[in-house]
Amino acid sequence: MPRLEDLPESLRRVVAESLGDALRECDVDYYLLVGNVIPPLIRYLTYTLALTLAFIDRYNEAIDEVNRILNIARGRGGIYDTESFYGLGLASIIANAAGLGRDVKPSDADTALHIASFTIQRVASPGLIKSVLGALEPLYGKAPDRYLEPLVAASDMENLDLITVWYIFDKLNKILDNYGNVDRGDAWSLVYAVIAYANLLRNYFGHFNSKEVGDMVGRVVGLLNELGRFKSSLGVIAWTHALTPALRYGIERRLMEEKLGIDVFVKANEILEELNDMRKSVQALMRDEEFMSYIKSRFVKADEEAVKIVILEAASLLKEALAIYRLNNNELIEARDLFNGAAEESREIGDYENYLVDRSWALRVETIEGSLVGEKLVNEFRWLYEETFNVKHFKPTARYLSIAPANLSEYLVSLALTGDHETINKLLEEHLWVLNANKQVSVLTRLMLNALLSPRVARVRHEGLGEGISPSMLREDLPSEVVESIRKLSPGKVSFGDLIKDFLKKAPMDVGTQAVITGLSFLLGAPVSLAGSLAGRFVEMVVGGWRKKRDEVIGGFVKLMGVAREVKNYLGTPPASTSLVASS
């Protein structure tokens, strides 16, 4: 917890009522702090049983404090980060009490999990997520439906490691398998389960084999059918989330269409129309008991504003998925308009992170389409960079730091196209820690800059890649020919520079400098529908004579980027992190 004097002046007065003495010094500080810092030894001792027992003796006080903070937040219509982190600490006391056999009421577990869920996407690093979920785990048997709430928040984060993803997957399955009230009871808990599975399918498709993907799609279909029992508009929200991964990935789309007998694209447009109608019926929705139960589970204050946020949030999510579907089908104008529409809706509800994501997508599409070239291209990506790093919006949270590296990377590449090495070096010195916050973006940006910048101007080192993509990093169920094709991309197997040159021996594309951004967008997460055989096609294309025209070189490199993007879906773990240094 920060000290009261460390908070912004505008926030001190607001949280003074809710947190009060929690922000002031107390006798415990003299035992824990050395020079206003908790030393490593003390941090270790805080995990001992003695300290845990000391805190759980204050179990009743902790519950009262959580309820008091939630009531204050409910009165003002929102909860601040400082309050939610304090609430997480209180929730961990309650969870420890449950873990040590204390009789914790289901209602108390429900309250503790509710306040803790606000913290998940506000943590500073994805690496902390499993620790948070693990600390709360003793409560999930007491309130399994509410434990879905932090699982949903965690599954919506990017850059989680494989262990955390599988922890979420395992807990989700166990809750639905072991607690019947979740999969047959309240509609809002069914929606949470749909969203959690959909998030895993959308964000971590490559971490699961075909059987596991099929099982998850089957679960989603079963939950959607169960939701059909309720005469509520809440089903529209569930359908929105269920359709988004199916619009991105062909495997999931085929499975859903087979199991439900629908056309995913047609159904998505129907759901979007229903969301548009719901915007005009907020008052009627507030009389929808099941719909409002979901609103109450998500927000500290269930009012008209909360209803509008849920509708616009769903519409933005679905528009983004439809835009990606259109992009994959080369319908560029439609994709651009949908991305821009999604961005505007996100901005309208104050979701600045998703606004930045969709504006980035829109700019990439304009680059592919050819309307962004030359100085205009650099200016647009500079604008996006400045918006991303604006001090009013920048947050050192895991969610924000999953977005900022990609936007910085796009600007760096656009500068490399113009040879502006001075600005590149300045940005790397200032924001290197941000770029390195996303391991994959850091490595791939390094390789892209090396390909574009002359050795006499600037070089970006990429030591530490080792053998690059090794068999141990790949999923176990891949055919041997796919494995061999993927290994051709390994910087450790052959020189990456030589690999690029060989690949570019046959580069018939004449798409100009904007193609590099296209390739980068593939590399940084565009769900381009490239079949696994494309990796094999890469090997076949390493023939012919070297082309010296710059645009052809760039075009060929983009093809390599497309292959690399597809390889990402086969990896069981993300690439290793390495430092990135530019020198003149």
Q: Beta-carbon neighbour count of residue 170 at 10 Å?
A: 10
Residue 566 has pLDDT above 80, yes or no: no
| Nearest one of 551, 568, 451 to 501, comparing CA atoms | 451
3-class SS of residue 457: coil
Would you say 442 and 405 are in contact if contact means Cβ atoms under 8 Å apart? yes
Max CA separation in the chain (angstroms): 76
Judged against a pLDDT cut of 70, whether residue 290 lies above it is answered with yes
pLDDT band at 10 (very low <50, low <70, confident <90, very high): low
pLDDT at 72: 87
CB atoms near residue 385 (< 10 Å) = 21
What does the alpha-carbon distance between residue 221 and residue 194 come to, in Å, rounded to a whole number? 9
List 459's β-bridge partners, or say none: 583
CA distance linking residue 447 with residue 545, whole number of Å: 23
Contact 505, 546 (CB under 8 A): yes
pLDDT for 6 equals 56
How far apart, in Å, do the first and last CA atoms of the chain sit? Answer: 43
Distances (CA, A) of 320 to 41, 300, 394: 47, 27, 22
Q: For residue 575, which of 467, 459, 455, 423 has the smallest C-alpha distance?
A: 467
pLDDT at site 366: 87
Give the domain ranges of the chain.
1-160+167-178, 351-583
Asked whether residue 9 carries a pLDDT value surpassing 80, the answer given is no
DSSP-based three-state secondary structure for 539? helix
Kindly tell me the sign of the dihedral angle through the C-alpha atoms of 246, 247, 248, 253. positive
pTM of the model: 0.76
Tens of pLDDT, residue by residue over 47-105, are 544 555 556 677 788 888 889 888 888 888 888 888 888 888 889 889 988 888 888 89
* Banded model confidence at residue 274, pLDDT cuts 50, 70, 90: very high
Helices then strands, each counted (H, E), the chain: 30, 2
CA 167 to chain CA mean position, Å = 16
Residue 482 confidence (pLDDT) above 60: no
DSSP string, 553-575: HHHHHHHHHHHHHHHHTTBSSPP
Q: Residue 579 corresponds to which tokens in the numbers above?
A: 């430092």
Three-state DSSP at 478 gives: coil
| DSSP SS3 for 37 | strand
Residue 109 has pLDDT above 60, yes or no: yes
pLDDT on residue 207? 86
- Selection from 147, 231, 244, 229 nearest residue 192 by Cα: 147
Nearest to 334 by CA among 374, 361, 353: 361
Q: How far apart are CA 382 and CA 360, in angstroms?
A: 11
- Quick: pLDDT tens for 519-549: 444 343 333 332 222 322 332 332 222 233 3
Distance (Å, whole) CA 367 – CA 361: 10
Dump pLDDT digits (tens) for 301-316. Answer: 999 999 999 999 999 9
Q: Quote the tokens at residue 193.
A: 């389960």
CA neighbor of 219 nearest in space, from 204, 237, 232, 200: 200
CA angle 18–19–24, rounded 5-degree value = 150
Question: What distance lies between CA 530 and its chain's CA centroid?
Answer: 22
Between 493 and 233, residue with greater pLDDT: 233
CA–CA distance, 468 with 376 (Å, rounded to integer): 36
Record the tokens describing residue 295, joined without a space.
Answer: 């609103």
